[in-house]
Amino acid sequence: MAVIAAVPEGRLALWWRLWAPYRGALVLLLLCQVVQALAALTLPTLSARVIDLGILRHDGAYVLRSGGLMLLAALVQILFSVAAAWAGARIAMGFGRDLRSAVFARVQDFSLHEMRRFGTPSLITRSTNDVLQVQSFLVMVLTTITTAPIMGIGGIVMAIRQDAGLSDILVVSVPALAVIVGVLLSAALPLFARMQGQIDRINQIVREQILGLRVIRAFVRDDWEHQRFAGANEALTGTARRVGRIMALNMPLAHLVMHLSTIALVWFAARRIAAGTLEVGALVAFLAYIMQILISVMIASMLIVMAPRALVSAGRIRDVLLSAPGIVEPAAPAALPARPGGGVEIEFRHVGFAYPGAERPVLDDVNFRLEPGKTVAVIGATGSGKTTIVNLIARLFDVTTGAVLINGVDIRTLPLATLWSLIGFVPQESFLFSGTIADTLRYGRAEASDDELWQALEVAQARDFVAALPLGLAAPVAQGGGNFSGGQRQRLAIARALVRRAPLYLFDDSFSALDYATDARLRAALPGHLGAAAVLIVGQRVSSLRHADLILLLDQGRVAAAGSHESLLRDSAAYREIVASQHAEEG
């Protein structure tokens, strides 16, 4: 895995690096194109000779000989064209793959900050659709458009050799074509940028509609949702239509310039033929060359059909690739110091955290220590910053002030992989990946044996329902775990973390979907499995937390009270209130 340089590289440097593996192939491709273009260019000259030398001098043998040469040229042309098509497809598709791979790898390294800034739907579009645009453009450039300058320049050279005087027409028509291309391009570019954004929006809406299917249907908001989609669709269509109209001008205008040039040519040539300063064969050949030149300019102008969109997409990909992840590997990574007595120990030292630009910090001056074999619990109202504590330990975010220490060293000095290898993590939302139950459980430790999986399931109180599935461990899990109930999903997520046998466990409100009986059994089974692991539990229910060695009561990001259940009952009115409310509730 490429470790990301802390200093973002420049735009050109980025593309240059990505392009590096294909430089050789590109040279090969250009060579093939040059050869095939030269072969194509000899044809009009040969045909001019046929007229001037063969027909006008009544030399049938010459006509046939030239015909043979022309055949040879055509043969060379196709052989090299096919080679060029091969190289072009190779380069374009390889480059597309590399781009997708680079985007994926970069997104993997993103922190939650970047994930939120770009948004998942937009990152999905960038990883596939945007790369697709660049790739198709590349195919176009490599297979067709590379021939254009060769044909164009070759055509000009041959045309001037044929007759310098008539070439003056090119001085007018080539710039005219360039201006047309330039104007259309600058008109279309901003529209294409808007269009990719609108595709993001479509992606976002459809994705939301799939995720929120039951809510949408329950509230009968299909019509409203459809309106929402239709709005985004209409906007996209509007932009696409405007872009299409601009693009539609390209070919006809190029055609106009091209044919006007030939008309002008005949006009000037006719007078010179009449004056006897030009041969008829030369005019015919010249017409062919001028067509060649103009067709090549026209092909080049096809760039504008695809270039703007590809440019915009490339920019969007570049934005991802050049966004440095907010959480970075340490420049000089330290090894995790061993703790006397083993295990890992976490310490929060004056920890504060605020979102960039937020007025109020989410966490403010939080201090506590978590030792191996001990449990720290965090309780507090919704939005009091409980989850942030978990996120800071896992370095999903970095502290704004203070430090989180592990075995006495700042976690920011440890390689991320090392830090994460220490953690058994159960998130608030039990997201399961698609695959089988065994895949799910082995998510954090691929080499775990079936026995270990069953053991983890046993502790997580999931053994019974998994065993009852006809396929057992091989039973499929739908994306997100959609084919299991909330409670089942949560238990699978817990088992998944337990399989890791980590020295540090983070349970972020992980028992909320369990009924009390299951919750109680789970908590009874956990200590045996966790052994000397350090455990941090975030939760709502006092009954789940009361046996913790230390309970932190969070209020608006500050530790309002800390201590054991008993001491808090004695000292904290707020804690007593929570206990009372739950007690009243639970009888």
Partner 1 sequence: MAGRDLSAGSAPLPGPQPLPGPRGGMPGLGAVARARDLKGTLTRLFRLIGAHPVAITATLACTVASVAGSSLVPWQLGRATDYVIGAVAAGVPVELSVLTRRLGLAAGLLLAGVLLNIVQAWLSNAIVQALSRNLRDQAALKLARLPLAWFDRQPHGEVLSRITNDIDNVSQSLQQLLSQLLMSALQLVAVLALMFALSPALAGIAVVSLVLSVLLSRLLAARSRPHFVEQWRRTGTLNADVEEDYSGHTLMKVFGHRERARAVFEDDNEALRASAFKAQFLSGIIQPVMLFVGQLGFVAVVAGGALLILAGGLSIGVLQSFIQYIRQINQPIGQIAGAASVLQSASASAERVFELLDAPEMKPDTAAPAKLAAPQGHVVFDHVTFRYEPGRPLFEDVSLEARPGQTVAVVGPTGAGKTTLVNLLMRFYEIDGGAIRLDGVDTRDLTRADLRRHFGMVLQDSWLFSGTIRENIAYGKDGASEAEILEAARACHVDGFVRKLPEGYDTLVDETGGVLSTGQKQLLTIARAFVARPSVLILDEATSSVDTRTELLVQRAMARLREGRTSFVIAHRLSTIRDADLILYMEDGNILEAGDHAALMARRGRYWQLYQSQFGAPES
Subset of residues 489 to 548 that bind partner 1, contact rule: CB under 8 A: 496, 500, 509, 512-518, 520, 523-524, 540-543, 546-547
C-beta separation of 398 from 560 below 8 A: no
What's the min distance (Å) between Cβ of 10 and partner 1? 26
* Among the listed residues 389, 388, 479, the one whose alpha carbon sits nearest the alpha carbon of residue 439: 479
Q: Which of 38, 55, 185, 403 binds partner 1 (CB under 8 A)?
A: 55
Axis crossing angle, helix 60-109 with helix 131-140, rounded to the nearest 10: 160
**Please, which of residues 346-405 interact with partner 1 by CB under 8 A?**
355, 359, 379-383, 386-387, 394, 396
Q: Which two tokens stand for residue 555?
A: 């209020």
Q: Which of 20, 128, 179, 532 binds partner 1 (CB under 8 A)?
A: 128
Residue 335 is given by DSSP the state P
Reported residue count of the chain is: 587
Nearer to partner 1, 413 or 418 (CB): 418
**Please, which of residues 158-197 interact with partner 1 by CB under 8 A?**
none
What's the min distance (Å) between Cβ of 183 and partner 1? 15
What's the min distance (Å) between Cβ of 444 and partner 1? 4
Q: Which of 295, 322, 324, 403 binds partner 1 (CB under 8 A)?
A: 295
Q: Name the strand (E) or helix (H) holding 513.
A: none
Number of neighbours of residue 213 by Cβ within 10 angstroms: 12
- CA dist 252 and 292 (Å) reads 17
- CA dist 14 and 75 (Å) reads 40
Note whether 92 binds partner 1 by CB under 8 A. Answer: yes
Note whether 231 binds partner 1 by CB under 8 A. Answer: no
Nearer to partner 1, 166 or 466 (CB): 466
Q: Which long-range contacts (CB under 8 A, 24 or more apart) does 363-367 make?
A: 363/388, 363/389, 363/392, 363/557, 363/558, 364/557, 364/558, 365/402, 365/558, 365/559, 366/402, 366/552, 366/557, 366/558, 366/559, 367/559
**Please, which of residues 325-354 interact with partner 1 by CB under 8 A?**
none
Nearer to partner 1, 65 or 529 (CB): 65
Q: Which of 186, 277, 449, 581 binds partner 1 (CB under 8 A)?
A: 581
Nearer to partner 1, 248 or 338 (CB): 248
Q: Which of 119, 182, 337, 341 binds partner 1 (CB under 8 A)?
A: 119
**Please, which of residues 234-253 interact with partner 1 by CB under 8 A?**
234, 236-237, 240-241, 244-245, 247-249, 251-253
Q: Which of 6, 27, 478, 532 binds partner 1 (CB under 8 A)?
A: 478
**Please, which of residues 404-443 interact with partner 1 by CB under 8 A?**
416-417, 420-421, 423, 425, 427-429, 431, 433-436, 439, 443
What's the min distance (Å) between Cβ of 243 and partner 1? 9
Number of neighbours of residue 541 by Cβ within 10 angstroms: 17
**Please, which of residues 262-281 interact with partner 1 by CB under 8 A?**
262-263, 266-267, 270-271, 273-274, 276, 280
Q: Please list, in sequence order, all residues whose beta carbon lies within 8 angstroms of the beta carbon of residue 199, skipping any fewer than 6 positions away.
A: 125, 129, 236
- Residue 78 burial (C-beta neighbours within 10 Å; 0-12, 13-18, 19+): exposed
What's the min distance (Å) between Cβ of 574 and partner 1? 9
Nearer to partner 1, 13 or 77 (CB): 77
CA distances from 536 to 376, 388, 390 (A): 5, 12, 8
Q: Which two tokens stand for residue 275?
A: 């004056």
C-beta separation of 43 from 88 below 8 A: no
Nearer to partner 1, 210 or 338 (CB): 210
Note whether 466 binds partner 1 by CB under 8 A. Answer: yes
What's the min distance (Å) between Cβ of 298 and partner 1? 9
What's the min distance (Å) between Cβ of 477 and partner 1? 7
Q: Which stretch binds partner 1 (CB under 8 A): 9-17, 59-67, 183-191, 343-351?
A: 59-67
Q: Which of 224, 338, 532, 570 binds partner 1 (CB under 8 A)?
A: 224
* Among the listed residues 245, 287, 227, the one whose alpha carbon sits nearest the alpha carbon of residue 263: 287
Pairing type for strands 375-380 and 550-555 reads parallel
Nearer to partner 1, 50 or 376 (CB): 50
Nearer to partner 1, 11 or 222 (CB): 222
Q: Which of 90, 117, 194, 463 binds partner 1 (CB under 8 A)?
A: 90
For 228-240, the DSSP string reads HHHHHHHHHHHHH
Query: What per-residue string of b and e applies to 449-464 under the rule 16 or more CB within 10 Å gives b?
Result: eeebbbbbbbbbbbbe
Q: Which of 178, 482, 531, 570 binds partner 1 (CB under 8 A)?
A: 482
Would you give the end-to-end CA distance of the chain in angstroms?
A: 55
What's the min distance (Å) between Cβ of 12 and partner 1? 25
What's the min distance (Å) between Cβ of 120 and partner 1? 5
What's the min distance (Å) between Cβ of 341 and partner 1? 25
CA distances from 193 to 51, 231, 319 (A): 52, 18, 13
What's the min distance (Å) between Cβ of 564 and partner 1? 14
For 57-82, the DSSP string reads TT-HHHHHHHHHHHHHHHHHHHHHHH
Q: Which of 8, 17, 120, 157 binds partner 1 (CB under 8 A)?
A: 120
Nearer to partner 1, 1 or 341 (CB): 1
Q: State which amino acid sits at residue 418.
A: T
Q: Which stretch binds partner 1 (CB under 8 A): 7-15, 22-30, 87-95, 181-189?
A: 87-95
Note whether 17 binds partner 1 by CB under 8 A. Answer: no
Number of neighbours of residue 379 by Cβ within 10 angstroms: 26
C-beta separation of 336 from 187 below 8 A: no
Note whether 21 binds partner 1 by CB under 8 A. Answer: no
Nearer to partner 1, 311 or 514 (CB): 514
Q: Which of 165, 219, 319, 341 binds partner 1 (CB under 8 A)?
A: 219
C-beta separation of 426 from 510 below 8 A: yes
Note whether 67 binds partner 1 by CB under 8 A. Answer: yes
What's the min distance (Å) between Cβ of 178 and partner 1? 18
